A and B are shown apart, each in its own frame.
Chain A
Amino acid sequence: MKLVTAIVKPHKLDDVKDALKGVGVQGVTVTEARGFGRQGGHTETYRGAEYKIDLVPKARMDVVVEDSQVDQIIDVIAEAARTGKIGDGKVWVTPVERIIRIRTGEQGADAVCPRAKSAAERR
């Protein structure tokens, strides 16, 4: 299992989410994030005093996928999040040691896989 983390522009969040749904991803966690990169910040002016805002708003998306899906997911995210302008963000992949679906106790691929259903649901 791999954890794919993407930092994207907030206004691209819906596009990325829809693209992930389109390729069958069953869940994603989104966090409002702030950070700096080469994009740089902006200035805000309050009563004539200028403040440099270095940390710009971003959306952070975390999705756990099976190893075989990783390359496809990265491509889907990168394509959906791209505007071609500086500040489009990053995608990275980290290995996941264990994953458990809290409700059912299912582990590994079953915990993120659409086929996994609880006994109650199967009835």
Chain B
Amino acid sequence: MDSGNTAWVLAAAALVAFMTPGLAFFYGGMVRAKHVLGMLMQNFFALGIISVVWAVVGFSLAFGGTNKWVGSFDFAFLKDLTGEGAGVPGLTLTIPLIAFLAYQMMFGVITPALVSGATADRLKFAAYAVFIAVWSVLVYSTVAHWVFSPQGWLFKRGALDFAGGAVVHINAGAAALALVLLLGKRRGWPSEAMPPHSLPLTLLGTGILWFGWFGFNAGSALAADGLAAQAFLNTHLAAAAAMLGWLAIEKLMAGHATTLGAASGAVAGLVAITPCAGFVGGMAPIYIGLAAGVVCYLALKIKFWVGFDDSLDVVAVHLVGGLLGSILLGLFADAGVNAAGRDGVFLGGGWDLFGDQVVACVAVLVFSFGASWIIGKVIDLTIGLRVTDEDEVIGLDQSQHAENAYNRLEV
């Protein structure tokens, strides 16, 4: 047990917990004023429901047992987490197991919350609540087991994912795509303008996300050491470079460098560096960030070509950003940075890692999309996914929560 490592991981867990409110504001500013509480609530609610689900069964299904496909119920109801011999099979920890559980819990919370941006303004709250709880157990824990648990088949294969490019971003992005296809478009999209109601809120949320992401990535070293410092630096540089990349192409293609572009670019860079943070060094995070800013900006067009209403671009930023980062890791990975990693193409490691990264991306994408589609379909047939037309028109704030965000005449 190492007190320095424990201190850092506990602090990092708090940083990651803070990202979910950050995400709430990042998204909340982008929706129209009548839906902002609906959006904030969906994110805050994840802190409630997923934390409890994680303690009851989620952590156990992600990190328990030695099966390579699914976890076990060994840690269900917080069993056997302390005392002699407590531990995750195959994982050497220098921190208490409950600190690891708490840290991983915050990842479990934010991942399904990411979906809420795609389904904005029309997903029924009850349907959302059931979806994220079931999805967390069936999809998140399973994918976390495959990739993060030393027993998982993708981990054993050698696929690398430092902090959740596949587990968090590809996973949530694919789920978002499935739900959007089931849910249909917002009324009036894309002919009606649906401009963000408060970009200042979005930029505030971006700042909180950026800040919290140091815990997300540097905390994933699970130690207060040189690797954590490398991940910290990589995280920041990728966000910075991605902001520049996004703004440059936005200025070229749309005429102006926008505040929403700066925010979106930074988040795209943070997404793309997530799988790479503890496996790359030198200038690699800057190249990965620049690529993420440009590629995610171009990916915004996909929804207009295909005609699905991914309202706040979860596919373009999280799915595409997660895929890009995971695959670029096959090029930039440097075993000199992290002995647990492997060398990518540019470091002379050949195409083996690249191939494993592609396998991991495809596996997570296909599984998450399929399972999310089935869960969403069952909910649609029972509870119903979508609010009524009337409820959509008056807004989620009033129709789902009987509240108003901005009561301007009440003084």
Contacts and interface: CB of A to CB of B under 8 A. Distances in A.
Interface of A: 44-53
9 contacts: A44-B193, A47-B264, A47-B300, A48-B250, A48-B254, A49-B300, A50-B254, A52-B193, A53-B195
Contacts of A48: 250, 253-254, 297, 300-301
Interface of A is mostly: strand
Nearest to B249: A48
Contacts of B256: 45
Interface in B164-207: 190, 193, 195-196
A47 B195 contact: no
A51 B297 contact: no
Which of A46, A50, A51 has the most chain B CB atoms closer than 10 A to its own CB?
A46
Contacts of B258: 45-46
A81 B195 CA distance: 30
Nearest 8 pairs of A and B residues by beta carbon:
A51-B193, A45-B254, A48-B254, A48-B300, A47-B300, A46-B260, A51-B195, A46-B195
Given A48-B254, A48-B297, 20 more contacts: A45-B254, A45-B255, A45-B256, A45-B258, A46-B195, A46-B196, A46-B258, A47-B261, A47-B264, A47-B300, A48-B253, A48-B300, A49-B190, A49-B304, A50-B254, A51-B193, A51-B195, A52-B193, A53-B193, A53-B195
Interface in B53-79: none
B397 interface: no
Contacts of A45: 254-256, 258
Interface residues of B, number: 18
A44 B254 CA distance: 10
Interface string B285-315: 0000000000001001100100000000100
Interface of B: 190, 193, 195-196, 250, 253-256, 258, 260-261, 264, 297, 300-301, 304, 313
Contacts of A44: 193, 195
A50 B196 CA distance: 13
A108 to B, nearest CB: 30
A50 B258 CA distance: 12
With most chain A CB atoms within 10 A of its CB, the pick from B253, B254, B261, B301 is B254
A90 B250 CA distance: 38
A93 to B, nearest CB: 29
B245 to A, nearest CB: 14
A52 B192 CA distance: 9
Contacts of B297: 47-48
Contacts of A50: 254
A44 B253 CA distance: 14
Nearest to A50: B254
B247 to A, nearest CB: 12
A47 B257 CA distance: 10
Contacts of A46: 195-196, 258, 260
Contact of B313 (A47, A51, A53): A47
A14 B300 CA distance: 42
Contacts of B196: 46
A48 B258 CA distance: 10
Nearest to A43: B255
B193 A47 contact: no
A51 B260 CA distance: 14
Nearest to B30: A46
B30 to A, nearest CB: 8
Nearest to B250: A48
B318 to A, nearest CB: 14
Contacts of A51: 193, 195
A45 B297 CA distance: 13
